[in-house]
Structure 1
Amino acid sequence: MAVEANEEELLERLIDAIRAVPHARAHLTHRQMPLDQRRRIDGIVEAEIGGRAIELIVEAKRDAFPRDVRETVYQLRNYLAHYSSGPTEVIPFFVARAISPGARELLRHEEIGFYDLGGTLYIPAKHAFVHIDRPAPRKKSKSFDSIFQGQKARVMLYVFENRRDWLSVKRIAEEVEVSAATASETLSEMERREWVETEGAGPVKTRRLREPERLLDAWAHYVANQKARGIERFYVTSADVNDLMHKLDRACDEADAAYAVTGEAAAQVYAPYLSTISQVRCRIIPGPRRDDALDRLRARPVSEGWNLALVETNARGDVTVGERIDDVGFAPALQVYLDLLQGSGRAKEMAAHLRSERLEH
């Protein structure tokens, strides 16, 4: 009964959204309309936009990722093949409480209309194209974005860094030091977004990243809409950036503080772009060990003239070493890319270069 109530609410909100379009009318003519003994259409909406009649064949779901939408596309095409409406233009239509960005892209590509409770409305009619694009509802937006945060983000970093391998939940949980439940949930979400391909089933099921560019695009879009992480600026006496990075490595080793160089200095090592780099950004595990490392470096807090910046970190999981190069620990190339996207100056240029040189291969 709860699902039916949700579908009814979605259909009512869809009607209201269409009626809010200038020179438009709409009303629900059928609910749960049977096509045959096995198939039912969730709703039929008769509408008029700009003086021309259209009919919407509506399928309703709670939420939608690309994999869910593909199943619905097949259903709607099947409904359309068995539905007769005369001369009126018929548009297959999808409604959900929230529709992910990837699912919206897929629906537009398939020329299927859609609506969600955030207020997004897309009607690809031949005579009157309607597209109101709004973010997903706030609560659902947080749900869509949670994969880019915390332990799930660490799992995604690992999957990306090992994108040519078939990965099991057990391997990921052990390597990333997360629970099997977190690894499994993250992989399932990636599967619903169609970023990974699968092989096997049950305990022996493995997955491999098949859409690295879509993952990069989605993560970059998420980062672009987030407040930049805070940084603390310091000055450390050193001959140059390489000398500073080696001093940082020694100080963190002596303080037993996990660290990873990121930003421009790391990008310059992974994919050289600028002639010179004069500053080092890094992540260090928060707490007394970090303070001990800074004391060993004799790092002096400054507002100008800094050469060492510590990126805000909240937990051990915010510090991941991708590679050790010339006795210095660097964040994974993907993490460096994301950090650069929140930088200033030529950081975004370096991000684009790093992506083309290291992440898209």
Structure 2
Amino acid sequence: MRAAEQVLVQEFLAAFQAATDSELIGQHEEVPFDERQRLDALLRVRFPNQVDAVDLAVEAVDATYPRDAHRLAEFLTCFNDQRRQDAAPAVPVVAARHLTSAAKDVLRGAGINYFESSSGTLLFRYRTWLIDIERPSKQSLDRKIGSLFNGAREQVVHALLMHWHRTGEQGWVAGNELATTAETSTFTVSKTLQELEKHDWVEATGSGPSQRRRLKNAGGLLDAWSDEWTRRARSEPRTRLYTYAGGRGGIVDRIIQKMEGRTGWAISGAAAANARVPHLTVVDRVLVIVPPGLAKPWAEEMELEQADKGSNITFVERSGASLLFLDEHPERPASRFTSPFIQYLDLLDGVGRNKELAREYRERVLKLGEPDHD
């Protein structure tokens, strides 16, 4: 066992004894089992006012993501399965430097106790004992998730979700193919997919140039993207405007007409969702993505009025992933509507009935169940 793992075991033991007032009566390291595998530490402890000792099977790791948590749960279960028949099952424990919140959920669901040394978080369940100390990590791995939904990495996420939407659960895809649709480099695709695998959203088959991946948890990935999207949306530059919109097509046709000859724009949110699913809602306002820095110049050129109240047009300045996979409505020549995933994300803005519409859109168009959280 390496020095770093020894330190983690000792940090767990100190936290555990402080919480239980238990006594350490035996410790073994690098415990062999299953001919090829070794457990980091087997600790024998005695709880206060109890005669019988209890074994703790401790596996020490550094950073733990959901994929690692599944592996650790299987490993510790295998250890108990391989113990001699006259030995009581050891209480399984993962001692980690960092744990993502999703990894904690996996371990908790599998009945595995855990300790996070960076925060002092401790979950321990055994018979009548329940210790549940949850403290915020100073350097949470969850904060790194946000980086997956920025810049070129966000384009990879978008392309992967679109590939899944078009091909289904068996839609394996090669890195170079994904790089083409995501309009980014194969290096960025490779690094992004490696991170997605850690979170157990993606699985891989093959190796080297023949390696292919598929999305195994589209709902989980979309939920994580939604969290980052709504957080980021609060600081996006938005310009609220008004123009008269008569005629059958209303404000949507009016803005398409105004945008004639321009590039780098698209209609999103409720107006775009209603174009994909007619009669989803009544559309009396439109969200329009425009290039960064061009909202006010374009508004002046189009003779749109500033309107902090009573606006029917909102310009939001964006580039990148939002403008991938645009659709032209067959009955509206020169129209540019965002992809179904961007439409869904923009429905999460809380305007009017948009959140209610988002749930319906998620089920009817994206074919996904309810999000894990609201």
What TM-score bracket applies, with the shorter chain setting the length? Answer: 0.7 to 0.9
Cα shift at 1:109: 2.3
Which position in structure 2 is the counterpart of 1:297? 302
Aligned match of 1:333: 340
Q: Give the counterpart letter for 2:146 in structure 1.
A: D
Instruction: Give the direction of change, closer, same or farther, for the CA distance of 1:24–1:339 in structure 2 (3 Å limit).
Output: farther
Aligned 8 A contact 1:64 1:103 in 2: yes
Aligned to 1:63: 63
Q: Is the partner of 1:232 in helix, strand or coil? A: strand
Change over 3 Å in CA distance of 1:136–1:347 after alignment to 2:
farther
Q: Which residue of structure 1 lines up, in the alignment, with residue 211 of structure 2?
A: 205
Q: Distance in 2 between matches of 1:51 and 1:86?
A: 24
Which of 26, 29, 32 is the aligned partner of 2:29? Answer: 32
Question: Would the alpha carbon gap of residues 346 and 46 (structure 1) be closer, same or farther in structure 2, given more than 3 Å must change?
Answer: farther
Report Cα offsets for 1:185-229 as digits up to 9, x if no partner: 122222233323434321122222232222233333445666634
Structure 2 vs 1, CA of residues 136 and 232 (structure 1 numbering), >3 Å: closer, same or farther? farther
Q: For 1:166 and 1:77, how far apart are their aligned partners in 2?
A: 31
Separation (CA, whole Å) in 2 of partners of 1:24 and 1:201: 49
Q: Could you tell me which residue of structure 1 aligns to residue 315 of structure 2?
A: 310
Question: Residue 322 of structure 1 aligns with which residue?
Answer: 326
SS at match of 2:315: strand
Tell me which residue corresponds to 1:79.
Answer: 79
Identity %: 25
* Residue 342 of structure 1, aligned match among 344, 349, 354: 349
Paired residue type of 1:232: T
Alpha-carbon contact 1:24-1:48 (below 8 Å) kept: no
Distance 1:71 1:124 in 2: 20
Q: What is the identity, as a one-letter code, of the residue corresponding to 2:79?
A: Y
- How far apart are residue 357 of structure 1 and its match? 0.7
Deviations 1:281-322 (A, max 9, x none): 12212134x444323322222211111112343x44443343
Counterpart residue number, 2:173: 167
1:338–1:348 CA distance, 2 compared to 1 (3 A): same
Aligned to 2:371: none
Contact 1:285 1:318 in 2 (8 A): no
After superposition, the Cα gap between the structure-2 partners of 1:307 and 1:155, relative to the gap in structure 1 and judged at 3 Å, is same
1:30-179 to structure 2, matched below 5 A, reads 30=27, 32-35=29-32, 38-46=36-44, 54-83=54-83, 90-116=90-116, 117-134=118-135, 136-163=137-164, 164=167, 165-179=171-185
Asked if 1 retains the 8 angstrom alpha-carbon contact of 2:27 and 2:44, the reply is: no
Question: Do the aligned partners of 1:241 and 1:279 also contact (CA within 8 Å) in 2?
Answer: no
Q: Is residue 2:234 matched to residue 1:234?
A: no
Matching residue's letter, 2:104: R
In structure 2, relative to structure 1, the CA distance for the partners of 1:113 and 1:236 (3 Å cut) is: same
Counting matched residue pairs gives 355
How far residue 159 of structure 1 moved from its aligned partner, in angstroms, is: 0.9
Give the partner amino acid of 2:12. L
3-state SS of paired residue (2:234) = coil
CA distance in 2, matches of 1:195, 1:151: 18
What is the TM-score with the length of structure 1 in the denominator? 0.84
Give the secondary structure class of the aligned counterpart of 2:310: coil
- In structure 2, do the counterparts of structure 1 residues 344 and 138 end up closer, same or farther at CA, with 3 Å as the change threshold? farther
Amino acid at match of 2:162: E
Distance 2:282 2:89 in 1: 62
**Which residue in the other structure is 1:6 paired with?**
4
Deviating 4+ runs (over 6 angstroms)? 84-89
Say if 2:154 and 2:321, in contact at 8 Å, map to a contact too. no
Q: Distance in 2 between matches of 1:301 and 1:51?
A: 74
How much has 1:104 moved relative to structure 2? Answer: 2.4
Distance change (3 Å), C-alpha of 1:88 and 1:241: farther
Q: Which runs of 5+ in 2 are unaligned?
A: 369-374
Which residue does 1:356 correspond to in 2?
A: 363
| Distance in 2 between residues matched to 1:351 and 1:82, nearest whole Å | 49
Q: Check the 8 A contact 1:62/1:96 in 2, yes or no.
A: yes
Is 1:285 the counterpart of 2:279? The answer is no
Residue 245 of structure 1 is matched in structure 2 by: 252
Change (3 A) 1:137 1:9: farther
SS at structure 2 position matched to 1:178: coil
Structure 1 Cα separation of the partners of residues 183 and 23 of structure 2: 53
Say if 1:57 and 1:92, in contact at 8 Å, map to a contact too. yes
Question: 1:274 Cα shift?
Answer: 5.1
Structure 1, 25-34 or 342-351: larger mean CA deviation: 25-34
